[in-house]
Every structure is written in C-alpha cells, then in structure tokens.
Amino acid sequence: MSSRRMAAITGSLLTASFSAVMILPCTAVADDQGPASSKGGKAVDEAPAGVELSTTLPSRITVDNSSQKTAITATVKNDGSKDSGGIRLLVVGFDGLKVINVQGCSAIAEKDLPEGSNSGFSCPVGSLAAGRSKSYAVDATYDLSKAGKICLPVQTTDGKKTFWQQGPVPFGTTNPSPNAPATPLLLGTDNKPVGPAGDQLPKTGADRDVTPLGAAGAALIAAGCAGLWWARRRQEG
C-alpha cells in the first residue's frame, strides 16, 4: 500500500474518531427527566364547570455539582371539556431550590413573594383549550447542602381564586454524590445534604402541608404563610 493511500486512510479514521468524540458527550449529558408527575398537587377552589386544571413536574431532575444549575419543565394542563378562561401559572422556589428564569414569564418582585420563598415567576397562560397543555422551561439553581422545594399554583388572572396547587413539593436525594459531575434528584423526596451532619435534614420550616396561595386584587401580592407554607387571602363577597 502506498504511503499516500495510507495517509488518506489514517486521516479518515482520525476524522471519524473526532466526530464520535464530538457527538457522544452530547448524548451522555442529556437530562432524562423521566415521566411527568402531579405528585404533591391538589384542587383548591372549584373550577368552572367542564374545566379540569392540573400541573405536572418531571419525576427526576439533575443538578450540576459545580455550577448548581438545573432545568425543570413545568406544565399546566386542562383535562376538561371546556376552555379554562383566563388563568396564570406561578412557579415559586423554596430553600435550596431557586428559580432563576421561566421562559415567557415575569419575575415576581421580592416584596411580593410569599413568606418563606426565595424566588418566583408569574406566567400568563391565557385561556387553555379543553384537552390542551402548556409547558414552560424553568432555569433554576439547587444548593445541595439544603432541602429544596418548588410550588406551582394555577390561578385566575387576578389571583382571586386558586384552582390547583402542586407543592411546595421537594426534589431531593437520600444518596448524594459529591464527587460525581451531577446529582440526580427525585420529585417528592426530601434532600439529604452532604456533610458531617448529612443524616440530619436542615430545619428550614414547618411540615409540608399544602394550603393554597392567592392574591388580593389584580396585582400579585404576597399572601402570608402558616409557618413556611402558604395561606390564602380571599376577597369576600
């Protein structure tokens, strides 16, 4: 075989190897969030006849151990037979889980955040047709030395009624991986932080009982909380 032909074959092999290296890592780090789950959710105020609203979160997320970044898909859906009318979705973070951005949504001012939360976004869903859903890409960080929780209330656009609320529900792991590139967290699992007292969950508030979040008037105003969680102010009459 001539040296010229050998060089050509060697070059082709190197090119193929380089292509494989460029492609494979992308596949390896893809975050499989598993099936969507409505765990930790319940109906609150009665929805209009024919409207059945709920939300879902991924059953699993992955936190980058160096940057603490993670991605979450929050979905609101209408499984009823009629359009929902105007609604909004809130995405609110607690403790170690901080919501950095939600695509297409507006940040809730710090003074208007519910007590105990560290971040939140309001998403104007509009009227959701029967049988339809709408998903939002949530960018967040997760401090693995703490517990971390997220809450998804679905409200009327003026915040006077909360038709559904998922959470505050935790993401966490009982098997932290401090030396791994990333740590997988499961929905509905309390986080067990890494450290000397890793067998003891930090005391960050009361229990996880869910009470609904609402707002007085059209503006998004923080409602109080019972301990860490939510208490809803409702306009009478």
Q: Which residue has the tokens 């998804």?
A: 152
Q: Is residue 13 part of a domain?
A: no
Q: What is the CATH number of the domain that holds 216?
A: 2.60.40.290
Give the burial string for 165-201 (b: 16+ CB within 10 Å, else e): bbbbbbbbbeebeeeeebbbbbbeeebbbeeeeeeee
- Give the C-alpha separation, 125 to 83, whole Å: 12
The structural domain count of the chain equals: 1
pLDDT at 163: 98
pLDDT at 114: 85
HSE (side-chain half, CA atoms, 13 Å) at 176? 21
Q: How far is CA 33 from the centre of its chain?
A: 11
Give the residue numbers spanning the domain of 39.
32-237
Q: Is residue 26 part of a domain?
A: no
- Give the C-alpha separation, 117 to 40, whole Å: 17
Strand 53-58 versus strand 36-37 pairing type: antiparallel
Q: Is residue 22 part of a domain?
A: no
Its pTM stands at 0.73
Confidence grade of residue 131 (pLDDT, cut at 50, 70, 90): very high
What pLDDT, in 10s, does the model give residues 161-206?
999 999 999 999 998 887 899 999 999 999 998 665 444 444 433 4
What pLDDT, in 10s, does the model give residues 90-129?
999 999 999 999 999 999 999 999 889 999 999 999 999 9
pLDDT at 209: 44
Q: Is residue 15 part of a domain?
A: no
Q: Is residue 4 part of a domain?
A: no
Tell me the C-alpha to C-alpha distance, in Å, between residue 163 and each of 47, 81, 134: 6, 16, 16
Of 29-33, 45-49, 72-76, 124-128, least confident by mean pLDDT is 29-33
Q: Is residue 216 part of a domain?
A: yes
From 155, 166, 170, 162, select the one nearest 89 (Cα to Cα): 155
Q: Can you tell me the mean pLDDT for 66-76?
A: 97
